Amino acid sequence: MNFSILIQILALQCLAVVCVSREFDFYYFVQQWPASYCDTKRSCCYPKTGKPAEDFSIHGLWPNYRDGTYPANCDSVNLFNDSKITDLESRLEKDWPSLACPSSDGMRFWGHEWDKHGTCSESFLDQHSYFKAALDLKNKANLLQALNNAGIKPADGKYYSLESIKDAIKEATGYTPYIDCNVDASRKYHQLYQVYMCVEASGSEFINCPLLPHGRSCTSQVEFPSFSHIKPAHQEL
């Protein structure tokens, strides 16, 4: 075999590896319950646009590998650019508010999520498609409605079985979620903090989770606290 043919074969093999190698296997779509975030952080701050509605909000859409590891900060060139999502801003303010302090308009949180996670799936979803996919997934899951349908409503001091929460979400969406708990401000009771669902690589369909995340496990009974009485510890206006 002459040298140039050998080079061509090697080049084709490299191309094949690049073509079949996957950037990631699936996404975790993670939603947070704002009252639980505020209870734990104890110093949550409402967004500049005001107190969010009592609803689940998006934490992130995170590319993951099947072995439990995940890529992060994959492209330092194509960093967050807010001008690419101006048409989605009002939906993002409503469905992906930032409760961290100091108060913000959400850009910092969205920018962090895109830079850390979104850049790792950009051959599937560019920046605009990534945010739109997350917003559409939130609507599709409609978690609050799923829980309401099963009589599971936010209320302080009321406990629901973890199984009933998972069953209600499975009943409504077709998929069993992973529930991540934290402890309330008194540090005594487990409360529903985040809901993880798995999504295939194009970012539009839920799938059965290939692997459960390493999260904080929940006790068998958990609180689903109300957001109505929550007052942020620091409100920077």
Active site residues: 59, 113, 117
32 binds ligand 5GP (CB under 6 A): yes
- CA 226 remoteness from chain centre: 21
**What length does the chain have?**
237
Can you tell me the distance from the alpha carbon of 120 to that of 122, in angstroms, rounded to the nearest whole number? 6
Does 182 interact with ligand 5GP (rule: CB under 6 A)?
no
State which of positions 194-223 bind ligand 5GP (CB under 6 A): 213
Burial status of residue 100 (CB atoms within 10 A of its CB: 0-12, 13-18, 19 or more) = middle
Cis peptide before 210 (omega within 30 of 0): no
Query: Which residue number, 56 or 109, has a Cβ lying nearer to ligand 5GP?
Result: 109
String of contacts with ligand 5GP for each residue 138-167, x by CB under 6 A = ------------------------------
Q: Which of 33, 59, 74, 165 binds ligand 5GP (CB under 6 A)?
A: 59
Chain Cα centroid distance, residue 83: 22
Q: Which 3 state secondary structure label does DSSP give 234? A: coil
Query: Whole-number minimum distance, CB 99 to ligand 5GP, in Å?
Result: 4
CB neighbour list of residue 198: distance below 8 Å, 6 or more residues apart: 26, 27, 28, 29, 175, 206, 207, 208, 209, 210
| Only segment of 110-118, 137-145, 152-160, 199-207 that touches ligand 5GP (CB under 6 A) | 110-118
State how far the Cα of 66 lies from the Cα of 28, in Å rounded to an integer: 11
- Identify which of residues 6 and 53 has a Cβ nearer to ligand 5GP in the complex: 53
Q: Which two tokens stand for residue 200?
A: 């295939």
232 binds ligand 5GP per the rule CB under 6 A: no
Residues 61-90 close enough to bind ligand 5GP by CB under 6 A: 62-64, 70
**Least gap, CB of 219 to ligand 5GP (angstroms):** 18
Q: Measured between alpha carbons, how far is residue 109 from residues 41, 78, 114, 213 in Å?
A: 16, 17, 9, 22
**Piece of 109-117, 141-149, 157-165, 227-235 that binds ligand 5GP (CB under 6 A):** 109-117
| Encoded amino acid at 196, one letter | Y
User: Contact positions toward ligand 5GP, by CB under 6 A?
Assistant: 28, 32, 37, 59-60, 62-64, 70, 98-100, 109, 112-113, 116-117, 213
